[in-house]
Structure 1
Amino acid sequence: MKFINVAVVRFSVFLTLGILLAHFFPNFSRYLIFLSLFCFGMLVVLWWRGRKQLIPTVLFGIATYFCFLLIGYVNYQLRQPNAQPRHYSHVASLDTTALFTLKVTAILKPDRYNQKYIAEVTGYNNRHTSGKVLLSVKKDSTGSKFTSDDLLLVHAALSETPGSLNPFQFDYAAYLRTLKVHHQFRIDSEAIVKRSKGDWSLRGSAESIRAHIISKLKQTSIGVEERSILQALVLGERNEIDPERYKAYAAAGAIHILAVSGLHVGILFLLLSQLLYPLCRLPHGALVRSILIVLLLWGFALIAGASPSVVRAVSMFSFFTFAQASRRPTNSINTLFLSYMVLLLLEPLWLFHVGFQLSYLAVFFILWVQPFLFRLVHCKNIIAKKLWGIITVTLSAQLGILPLSLYYFHQFPGLFLLTNIVILPFLALLLAGGIVVIVWTLIDEVPKLVAEGYATAIETLNAFVDWVAGKEDLLFSNIPFSETQVLAAYVLIIVCILLLKKWNGKRVIKALAGILLFICVLFWEKHRASQQQLIVFQKNRHSVIAYSNASEMVLYTEDTSQGISSTFPVSTYRVGRRIDSVSEAMIPKLFAFRKQKILVVDSLGVYGVKDRINIVILTQSPKLHLDRLIDSLRPDLIIADGSNYTSYVNRWKATCQKRKLPFYHTGARGAFILE
């Protein structure tokens, strides 16, 4: 591909490496100032000495790449609370009630019991502060909700954000940290002392416009389910989509159309380009057209929620639009990496967003692989050519996101190709029609015929998705895939594509090395999963203990008729540990693991054992005298699982602290694992 600026690609790679180093190795920051000063000083000296040379020296290149690595490292560290003097965490104590001033900045999807928001802590006990928190407000009979830019004075206590308590579980606390959220408030309406409207913000105004559009759409004759799809397609509002409908789209491999992303922005870009093309005939019309396209795209991004995938797509098309207007030669890969680098400079935490990762990988593989695949088949018929184009785009994007999709979602839709062949052309019509319906709604009442026609189109889409999702035999789920496998898979994919593009001896050797690496990783993962393990799960109101050996697992529960093996958290553990066979049994009172005697004491509180016990597991809130048990059995460790009352756990913990005996509560520290 011509005009690829290799420097931009390398700068982006080293910037990414710097962010990753800061994320996984944050303790190097103490040496960062000296390292940065030395590196930048060396870069200036090397530039001054070689400023008249046509080709820079190798040392200058190394220093430049190292500077980008440091920029990524420093930029990430500056976003952390310890680098922000006014961050609330420096002055506020956890679990201590105080007065906090909060400004609502984002509205999240509510759960069964709480409305959820992201809020900025602007004040703490009359002190100006900064920093974001998760705000969970218990639902009450009034049903009142907050909007962006609302100011709240709350009398509450900060607490830790909920983290992962079981292996292979989604870590919600880690996800919130990528949003700069490190703590939470869990309150009810009585904790809100005062509510008022805060200062104007661009994001708040965009959310108000979106809320106004949604309220207008509710007045049309479009059904609830169809309207929820319209809101997701055009406005990026997915909170009203039925969970079963969402699962159907995921099973059909069409979940990407429910999240406003590069695909939607690309379609909108093409529509705007065609509509505004007559401006090119005017003096300076090309520049005016480009400015209008960019402004409209960014307006769409704001109204659609300004998610990382939308911002990425709009920034890329903005670069591409102005490059076209300047009539300079450009390349889509250059534009992609330039937008990638700019966005990570503005917000390095976006690197850890799943949507951001999948979006960039999909676009990169489309730009890199699709032209090669398209040239493999020569189509003379225009319809066949368009169909082959959709197929190659779909295959390229799927190839790019496949390892990450398996890692995050552990499933692969076998009919993804059919789904995209049908949906992609249909999506352009739905998106254009949705914009027309929304604009019409804001201007005047939408005619019933138009509203019902659009609703019928969405019903047709839903029916097709349901048909594809119903082919359960072609949905491959529960696929284990680790981080190591992801890296090995991308190495294998890249070397194989390079080999297919150009055959030579070196690339054959690289491809064989990639295959060997992937096979070695598979054997390593299988060996690691084959190790014996005993685990006491954290599950509220239930006792669940498992013993796994290779691909087999014995699951011990208090009631084998409940089918816990197919529910959370056992289901995710089975996928992560590559468990094929599961048998269930009642929890034994006494058993051994790796020469350690383990006693389980249930609600009866009867243990009837006089020999020394290594580990005691307390379940179902037994009424017992813990001091007497400790004196009798002399255990090395006491474990309390999630089936116990909190008051009992606190009493046992105090007893163990007094006796200087290790105490482990799965509700606080997560599942207990013994290997």
Structure 2
Amino acid sequence: MSIRPTTIPWATHPAVRLIMALLGGIIIWFYWGAELPELLPWLAGGVGIYLAAHLWAVRQNNPALNDAVGILALAVVTLAGTTAAQHATERREADHLYHQGEVEFYRAVVDDYPVVRPNTFATTLRVSAVRVGGQWRAARGGIRVSVPRYEAGAEQPRYGEVWLVRGAPAPAKAPLNPGEFDYRRYLSYHQIYHQQFIHPDQYRVVAFAPPNWLRHWSMQAARRLEGVFRRYVKAKREFAIADALVLGMKDEVDADTKLAYANTGTTHIMAVSGLQVGLLYAVLQLILSRFFGHRRGFRYWSVAVGLLVIWSYAFLTGLSASVLRAAVMFSFVAVAKAAGRQSNMYNTLAVAAFCLLLYDPYLIVDVGFQLSFLAVLSIVYLQPRISAWLDFQEWAAKKRRPWHPRWRQKALTWSAWGLEGVWQAVALSLAAQVATFPLGLFYFHQFPLNFLLSNLVAVPISSVALYVGLFLQAVALPVEWLAAQLGASWLLWLPEGIGWVFEKLIWCFNEYIILVGRSLPGALVQGIHLTPGQAWLLYLLIAMLLAFFAWRRLVWLGAAVGVVFLFSLSRVAEAREVATDKRLVIYSIPRRSALGLHDGASALVITPDSLPLNETERTYRVLPGLIERDNRRVRYSAGWPATEVAVQQVGINGPVLLTWHGHRAAWVSGKLWKGQQPVPVEVIVLRRNARVWPDQLLATFGPQALVVFDSSCRTWYVEKMTPQLRAAGLRVHDVTMQGAWVQGISPEKNSPK
């Protein structure tokens, strides 16, 4: 069956043009915003010029002039995007924390859910006032804070608590190791530029004033619904997934379960977003159309009921950002459908994205926002085309014969119906992956080839589990109230039975996901690094191929070949650069000593204290840099591998000398004895608060050496030794505060990077 090629004429998609212009303006701010003046007067002037030009063009009735005015309108929208991003950036304001000087105390409100970590509570504070030089003044700014869970007086923060905090927050730290996740940039996208570790005796709750009472009530409702799951879902793992599936609370999902879902491409099941909202809306519309589809005005009031349910669900899940995005998107889709404009889905999605980005331009760098809209856009365009490749109803009609017995005809009909449902699910999953896999490679450096197998079973079962979980929430509270009023505890068998079914459904799809991950370990392609340019090239390639299949013109196929050539060229250039690159890295890993020897595509990671890195340290501290450099052959060594590199210990319990490609470095963890023979080196690494003096280091290793404090050194030790070493003329680097030390090595000379 062939599909008639369709085009997307610009004239019928004005919102698509507008969203592209707005996106361009926001991107301009991210790249060149620091150099721009205040843009609001310019935007006002641009709007005035456009209105004047538009009125003049209407009177002239000149098509060419109308086109020019249209281009002017897009330019104004672009300027509006840049202006919106500028005014969404709190750091520009004069009263921001960055411009306050040395803060003694500050007053702030808890403005986010508390995240429960193994040893701390983490949340966000929004500052309203600071005390500087003994005087209070108004201020603004976001602070990401951590509070130890097990210290005396520690309590879990609550949204809306007003804190009086002693001490000054510190600017958020840059990533400390090569390729490490840039948490500072991530926080800045949420208008948070500071961090602080607060002990219970540093703050006092002085009031309760939620910034948004609606959100406060929403959080309270979500916590109450969470209590229902605690009572009726007994297994710890299943409760954690139930909490994530229905309410979007993932605090209690363990790391192994998260990893299993990530490795099979099913993480979206644990996030309340477009999947859950879409399923809820679709089933509701199906039920309403089944029983009330022929009633007068059904098209309008059914949409109203759908919107009420969607936003009620968003309220009951705590009004999280992902649910709000999905609710806004489906609201626009529902309204467009009621207005009879459901055929122009591109305009509808563009309007939804336009409104969201105008409200918060920083959504453009939110991974969830990018994946959600790209997946929906790809599903809208590709899913009908992919599903049209196979028609099982037509297949069944060709197989059916008038003389076949009735049971056989029904079997063919039911088979066609079942195969059609499976194929539609396959088409939907493939369509979503086409648009999202470049982002998956760029952000997560992996791609699960088993995504189709895991999603085909896990998504339907989890969808049924979602409905059962919502039914449990609807039944449990009324039945509990009734049982308490009548003293009839036997009534609780109903929510207990539903809870048992709910728990077993979760167990089923969870075990299936784990089984797929274990059975097909080679299906997860890992360690892929894409530059932003390469990610854009992949999207350009997808666009060229889609254009070729839509219009069947060889020019598009030729363009796709050109894009493949450019992508390959960039990968080859990277490989050539890595092949000749040699570097020594002293990592910044809390309370650990670790170094990396990178030689082309090979890497040797050494922990001198003979204790291997744990999975978290490898995954978050070391692995990103290895992926970024495309290190394919990586070895880990606990202790000095004397057989693989030139390592020599000078004296008993003396310093360890490492010689690598003509570069010499010394690791000092104890005393330097008198009479130690001079050994010139380029780098001295002090470990475990080594008891040494500057004159000893100078006499033993020479005045040209750089002194590096690794992460096993305590803060007090670094603060004590640093001025002494600098006074002796030695250069100093602290990996805990300044990040990993990276030394590029070449046969000709050693050049620090």
Bin of the TM-score, shorter chain as denominator length: over 0.9
AA aligned to 2:378 is F
Residue 18 of structure 1 aligns to a residue in which SS?
helix
2:558 is aligned to 509
Match of 1:541 among 574, 587, 591: 591
Residue 70 of structure 2 aligns to a residue in which SS?
helix
> What is the RMSD of the two structures over their aligned residues, measured on CA atoms?
2.7
Match of 2:282 among 257, 267, 270: 270
Match of 1:582 among 634, 643, 646: 634
Match of 2:612 among 555, 558, 562: 562
Q: Distance in 1 between matches of 2:657 and 2:286?
A: 75
Question: Is contact 1:3-1:329 (8 Å) kept?
Answer: no
Residue 426 of structure 2 aligns to a residue in which SS?
helix
**TM-score for both structures, normalised by structure 1:** 0.92
User: How many angstroms does 1:662 deviate by?
Assistant: 3.6
Q: Distance in 1 between matches of 2:665 and 2:52?
A: 67
Q: Distance in 2 between matches of 1:375 and 1:364?
A: 18
Residue 265 of structure 2 aligns to a residue in which SS?
coil
**TM-score for both structures, normalised by structure 2:** 0.83
2:425 is aligned to 390
Match of 1:43 among 33, 50, 74: 50
Give the stretch that moved more between structures: 656-665 or 329-338.
656-665
Q: Distance in 2 between matches of 1:525 and 1:599?
A: 32
Per-residue Cα deviation, 1:144-190 (whole angstroms, up to 9, x for no partner) = 32222222222232122343111111122222222221112321222
2:90 is aligned to 81
Is 1:24 paired with 2:31? yes
- The equivalences for 1:327-406 within 5 A come to 327-328=340-341, 330-380=343-393, 381-406=416-441
User: How many angstroms does 1:393 deviate by?
Assistant: 0.7
Match of 1:625 among 683, 690, 693: 693
User: How many angstroms does 1:118 deviate by?
Assistant: 1.6
AA aligned to 1:218 is R
Match of 1:458 among 506, 509, 512: 506
2:201 is aligned to 190
User: How many angstroms does 1:31 deviate by?
Assistant: 6.9
Give the stretch that moved more between structures: 49-58 or 544-553.
49-58
1:132 is aligned to 142
User: How many angstroms does 1:673 deviate by?
Assistant: 1.4
Q: 1:26 to 1:378 in 2, by over 3 A?
A: same
1:288 is aligned to 301
AA aligned to 1:571 is L
AA aligned to 2:684 is V
Per-residue Cα deviation, 1:465-487 (whole angstroms, up to 9, x for no partner) = 12112122222223333323212
User: How many angstroms does 1:516 deviate by?
Assistant: 1.0
Q: Distance in 2 between matches of 1:430 and 1:631?
A: 71
Q: Distance in 1 between matches of 2:213 and 2:572?
A: 53
Q: Distance in 1 between matches of 2:189 and 2:100?
A: 22
| Structure 2 unaligned spans of 5+ | 1-5, 394-415, 481-491, 649-655, 745-753
Match of 2:678 among 610, 626, 636: 610
- The equivalences for 1:434-453 within 5 A come to 434-445=469-480, 447=494, 448-453=496-501
Question: Is contact 2:7-2:550 (8 Å) kept?
Answer: no
Per-residue Cα deviation, 1:523-576 (whole angstroms, up to 9, x for no partner) = 122223332222111122322222212211233431456367982423332222
AA aligned to 2:471 is V
Q: Distance in 1 between matches of 2:16 and 2:104?
A: 50
Q: 1:308 to 1:539 in 2, by over 3 A?
A: same
AA aligned to 1:332 is M
Q: Distance in 2 between matches of 1:366 and 1:528?
A: 39
Per-residue Cα deviation, 1:586-617 (whole angstroms, up to 9, x for no partner) = 66644567876544433334694536544433
2:158 is aligned to 147
Residue 562 of structure 1 aligns to a residue in which SS?
coil
Match of 1:225 among 234, 237, 241: 237
User: How many angstroms does 1:54 deviate by?
Assistant: 6.4
Q: 1:40 to 1:611 in 2, by over 3 A?
A: farther
1:315 is aligned to 328
Q: Distance in 2 between matches of 1:163 and 1:110?
A: 23
Question: Is contact 2:143-2:195 (8 Å) kept?
Answer: yes
Q: Distance in 2 between matches of 1:525 and 1:442?
A: 60
Residue 232 of structure 2 aligns to a residue in which SS?
coil
Q: Distance in 1 between matches of 2:465 and 2:682?
A: 64
Q: Distance in 1 between matches of 2:158 and 2:278?
A: 30
Q: Distance in 1 between matches of 2:634 and 2:509?
A: 38
Q: Distance in 2 between matches of 1:418 and 1:303?
A: 32
Per-residue Cα deviation, 1:32-82 (whole angstroms, up to 9, x for no partner) = 467546644543443233124364544333322222222222211212233
Match of 2:269 among 251, 257, 267: 257
Question: Is contact 1:279-1:286 (8 Å) kept?
Answer: no
Is 1:123 paired with 2:102? no
Is 1:113 paired with 2:119? yes
Question: Is contact 2:458-2:513 (8 Å) kept?
Answer: no
2:71 is aligned to 62
Give the stretch that moved more between structures: 2-11 or 332-341.
2-11
User: How many angstroms does 1:245 deviate by?
Assistant: 1.8
Q: Distance in 1 between matches of 2:202 and 2:191?
A: 24
Q: Distance in 1 between matches of 2:45 and 2:707?
A: 53
Question: Is contact 1:613-1:634 (8 Å) kept?
Answer: no
Q: 1:167 to 1:263 in 2, by over 3 A?
A: same
Is 1:201 paired with 2:250? no
Per-residue Cα deviation, 1:615-651 (whole angstroms, up to 9, x for no partner) = 4332332211114534771126332221222222112
AA aligned to 1:532 is K
Q: Distance in 1 between matches of 2:91 and 2:613?
A: 46
Question: Is contact 2:225-2:473 (8 Å) kept?
Answer: yes
Q: Distance in 1 between matches of 2:604 and 2:467?
A: 54
User: How many angstroms does 1:341 deviate by?
Assistant: 1.3
Residue 30 of structure 1 aligns to a residue in which SS?
coil
Q: Distance in 2 between matches of 1:593 and 1:24?
A: 40
Q: Distance in 1 between matches of 2:292 and 2:196?
A: 52
Question: Is contact 2:226-2:243 (8 Å) kept?
Answer: yes
| Structure 1 unaligned spans of 5+ | none
AA aligned to 1:238 is K
Q: Distance in 1 between matches of 2:510 and 2:595?
A: 41
2:489 is aligned to none
2:99 is aligned to 90
Question: Is contact 2:147-2:154 (8 Å) kept?
Answer: no
Is 1:102 paired with 2:108? yes
